[in-house]
Amino acid sequence: MIDKFDLVLFDLDNTLLTGDSDFEWAQFLIDKGVLDRELQESRNLEFFQQYQAGTLDIHAFLDFQLLPLSRHSRSELDAWHAEFMVARIRPIIGAAASALVRRHANAGALSAIVTATNSFVTGPIAREFGIPHLIATVPEQDAGSGRYSGKPRGLPAFREGKIARVESWLESMGLWWGSFAHSYFYSDSLNDLPLMNMVSDPVAVDPDETLRAHALEMGWPVISLH
């Protein structure tokens, strides 16, 4: 009989990171003068507050989030992202989060980041953590030039969409929820309750008030990485 191993899923923003990469990317572009501060900053904050309240319209948000990608070449975007990693992301990667990722990796778990934030922003962050798999919202791009269209491709990895995307990923490897000794999902957000209810071992990480109350009611672990 083959020994089972663990499945470990991590939310990214305000879970592994002590901040929100989506929000920080928009603010980074504003600070560089790529986006207009007066027009963009208040809208960015508005979407962030809607996400925190559990009222975000993911499609309206993606129209806002992905449009700037379509206005610039991939080489220009990649250069900006390298700056973004140094200025905005590495300072919000904490030692406790990195240690948690390493602990599961050393135990032989199959690990993935599962995030609504698009894969252009989050791909390099997943690699920074050494996490081999990323399940993120995918921005549509031209296969030849790599240029983005400003629209998402496929189902956004948000709320129930995270379940569908994870299950599709598992199926592509001939796996399902029952393939694992334990399945973990670490998250801070009420928006992730659908996926947290799917795994055997949900863990609330520095949770918002709604998730904290639910976790305490259900007897889920509540931890801090920040």
Calpha distance 221→83 (Å, rounded): 36
What does the pLDDT look like over 166-221, one tens digit per residue? 999 999 999 999 999 999 999 999 999 999 999 999 999 999 999 999 999 999 99
In a domain, 1, yes or no: no
Instruction: Note whether 185 and 196 are within 8 A (CB).
Output: yes
Residues assigned a catalytic role: 11, 13
Calpha distance 7→166 (Å, rounded): 11
Mean of per-residue pLDDT scores for the chain? 95
Q: What is the pLDDT of residue 6?
A: 98
Model confidence band, residue 44 (pLDDT cutoffs 50, 70, 90) = confident
Q: What domain range is 88 assigned to?
A: 7-223
Instruction: Note whether 110 and 153 are within 8 A (CB).
Output: no
Nearest CA to 129 out of 104, 102, 163 is that of 102
* Joined tokens for residue 87: 């200025």
Q: What is the pTM for the complete model shown?
A: 0.94
Calpha distance 198→31 (Å, rounded): 40
133-141 sheet: strands from edge to edge = 148-153, 133-141, 110-118, 7-10, 183-187, 201-205, 222-223
* Total domain count, the chain: 1
CATH number of the domain enclosing 146:
3.40.50.1000
In a domain, 2, yes or no: no
